[in-house]
Amino acid sequence: CTLIRFPSAPEKPVSCSQNFRQQIEKPDVVSQYTSLFRSTDFLRICICYGLGSGLYAGWCGSLNENLASYGLNQANSGWIGMASLLGGFVGGTVGSVLVDRRQVSLQTMALVLFYISSAACGLFILGCYLKWSLIELIVIATIIGAGINGTIPILFELALETAFPVPNAAIGNVLTAVNGLGAVVFLCVPIGKYGAQW
């Protein structure tokens, strides 16, 4: 004897939007990814995302080896890495808030953040060659982290807008893969053969 029956779905659609959604046929996964890779605008965003955050992730992963040739020990590399990570938290949050509240275009904000992080990278390289103090390098690394990680939510939002009919999961998968690919490309250059100063 059954007292209460809980169906898995209502017999009739509960709203107009659900009725419309049931009528639309979901595309298969292959067509979602092929439509992403056919979009040149989306591929440009992927290149920017992979070059920015991917190479930065590879650089942060091998930070101790990269800075050892400049006379910085593991503790100093740890402080620089921590500062760039914390700067990334702040940069990602501030970048997305500025885009949302100030009505700045996504492309403009991404370009500004890339320019800031590129200039800070140049200063960091100069500071390593000229043996600047640890505090100066930490401040510059914080700016690098804020600039590069500030572009992550902006480029993700730009990718979502560019490839709109494609589900967010497919777009996120491709961007994550491009990020990992950028880090792998950076880490494939053998440090023992070419050194860490390139």
Residue spans per domain, the chain: 52-172
User: Which residues contact residue 94 at a Cβ distance below 8 angstroms, ignoring those fewer than 6 apart?
Assistant: 146, 150
Question: Phi, psi (5° rounding) for residue 14?
Answer: -80, -15
Summary count for the chain: helices (H), strands (E)? 10, 0
| pLDDT at residue number 1 | 60
H/E element holding 85? helix 74-102
What value, to the nearest 5°, has the Cα angle with vertex 181 and ends 177 and 184? 140
pLDDT tens digits for the chain (198 residues)? 667 777 776 677 666 666 665 555 566 778 888 888 999 999 999 999 998 888 888 888 888 888 888 888 889 999 999 999 899 899 888 888 888 888 788 888 899 999 999 999 999 989 988 989 999 999 999 999 999 988 988 999 899 888 888 888 889 999 999 999 988 888 887 666 665 555
Give the integer Cα–Cα distance in Å for 88 and 193. 31
pTM above 0.85?
no
Give the integer Cα–Cα distance in Å for 70 and 131. 8
Give the integer Cα–Cα distance in Å for 96 and 153. 6
| pLDDT at residue number 178 | 93
* Cα distances (angstroms) measured from residue 167 to each of 83, 93, 122: 35, 24, 38
| pLDDT at residue number 44 | 93
Which among 193, 174, 177 is positioned nearest to 185, based on CA atoms?
Answer: 177
For the stretch 10-32, what's the b/e string if a residue is b when 16 or more beta carbons lie within 10 angstroms of its beta carbon?
Answer: eeeeeeeeeeeeeeeeeeeeeeb
